[in-house]
Amino acid sequence: MKLPLADLDTELARRIVENPRASRIALSDPPPRGGKAGGVTTSAKPRVTPGRVALGVLLVPLLWLLSVAVGAAALGVTGSDDVGAVVMLLLGGASPLIALNWVVNGWRLPPPLGSKTPTSAEARAAKRAEAAVREPLSRRILESTFDAVVPVGPQKIYARSVLSLMDLAEKGRMTEAQARDVLTQLNALMEADRELIAQASGVEAAADSGEDRRLRREREEIEGRLAAARDSVARQALEHSRALLETRLANHDSLALIHERILAQREAIEQTLGSLESALTRLKLVGDGSAAGDALSLARLQETVAAFNRESRAVEQAVQEVAGL
């Protein structure tokens, strides 16, 4: 069984591509670094050549003749010497600039100041790298790539689980389709972990203690105004404001609980990945002694991961609902 980087967790694949050592291992034709490709120094083709310079020199008098012809035509059409002279001077004065642009850029317009346009070599390298990401890689190559990028935390467990899946498929303990199904579930777990990380950052920022103090201070002010109010309509409006503020305070207090739940869910994801890795290792080394037993163990693994993915999505949805209040 072989797997391309495109089938792996997106964050781990991105780290591999951006890591020079890992990309040299995983990508059969990585983009050249430091002006080298395959250990051979390559130099870009010079844009200014002697042939272009010679043609540029010949181009100036030709453009002058063209400006004289256009100026004479403008004179014949308008009957004004001034118009013909202006057209002739404008075209004649621009001829050296046009010739210089030909020498440097060919017939292309010069790039805007400060802009960087990719060379054809860079464009070809980018296309090769994109194709290489979809090239199937053997277990040995992937293992070396993982070692080079040094995954940490859940990514480390994920990487070991991927290698175990490849071993099980190669040994015939599961089909490639089954292995890819488990890999899809693993990718979903990693994606859920990243979503929880992002939500934890947002909840932590929203649950700022300064915001809590501000809301409580506003409530005290409203209660003071309510105690002093004598008009029934004013009191009704203040009571409505106090009720809204109480709701905001309750939502703010719930953010701390949501943050605690997110952290617990992230810990549970890592433990689920660890349990799955252990189960894959056991299936690889021991098995249940029969194809039916292996299939049952695999089905239990898939159901466990699928159930946990559903639970993670429920936590994410609950966080979004609280954040929208």
Confidence of residue 111 (pLDDT cuts 50, 70, 90): low
Is 100 exposed, middle or buried (CB count within 10 Å of its CB: 0-12, 13-18, 19+)? Answer: middle
Closest CA to 142 of 25, 278, 17: 25
pLDDT at 226 over 50: yes
pLDDT digits (tens, 9 = 90+) for 253-282: 777 778 888 888 888 888 888 888 888 888
pLDDT at residue 266, as a whole number:
84
pLDDT at residue 114, as a whole number:
54
pLDDT at residue 39, as a whole number:
37
pLDDT digits (tens, 9 = 90+) for 278-292: 888 888 887 555 554
Name which residue leads in pLDDT, 258 or 137: 137
Tokens representing 288? 């249940």
Give the span between the Cα atoms of 265 and 192, in whole angstroms: 10
pLDDT at residue 284, as a whole number:
80
pLDDT at residue 8, as a whole number:
92
pTM of the full structure: 0.58
Q: Which of 15-19, 95-99, 132-136, 306-310 has the highest mean pLDDT?
A: 15-19
Query: Nearest-5° angle of CA 79, CA 80, CA 85?
Result: 125
pLDDT at 3 over 80: yes
Average pLDDT, the chain: 75
Closest CA to 3 of 184, 270, 272, 189: 184
